[in-house]
């Protein structure tokens, strides 16, 4: 039975390693996306305040609604 588990464990290890490598490759893009998302949240907040929402109302709208609907 251990003969069948060893290849399975090796395959799991390989898959995990491949997933980690993929994540490492994507990480710079994911970080850049967070910066852009922050700018969008700030722009939405500023636009709401400029249109007459209170700061508290604008914060609630921004915090409860996703960026893309």
The answer to whether residue 42 sits within a structural domain is yes
Q: Residues near 41 by Cβ (< 8 Å), separated by ≥ 6?
A: 62, 67
The answer to whether residue 69 sits within a structural domain is no
Domain total in the chain: 1
- Torsion, Cα 23 25 30 35, to 10 degrees, reads 140
62-to-28, 30, 47, 55, 56 alpha-carbon distances in Å: 25, 21, 11, 11, 10
Q: Is the pLDDT of residue 2 over 60?
A: no
The parent domain of residue 20 ranges over: 2-64
pTM for the full model? 0.67
Q: Read off the tokens for 31.
A: 């970080």
The answer to whether residue 47 sits within a structural domain is yes
Q: Is the pLDDT of residue 63 over 60?
A: yes
Q: Is the pLDDT of residue 66 over 80?
A: yes
The answer to whether residue 36 sits within a structural domain is yes
């Amino acid at each position: 039975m251990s003969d069948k588990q060893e290849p399975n464990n090796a395959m799991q290890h390989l898959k995990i390693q491949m997933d980690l490598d993929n994540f490492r490759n994507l990480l710079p893009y994911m970080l850049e996306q967070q910066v852009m998302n922050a700018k969008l949240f700030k722009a939405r907040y500023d636009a709401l305040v400029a249109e007459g929402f209170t700061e508290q109302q604008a914060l609630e709208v921004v915090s409860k609604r996703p960026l893309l609907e």
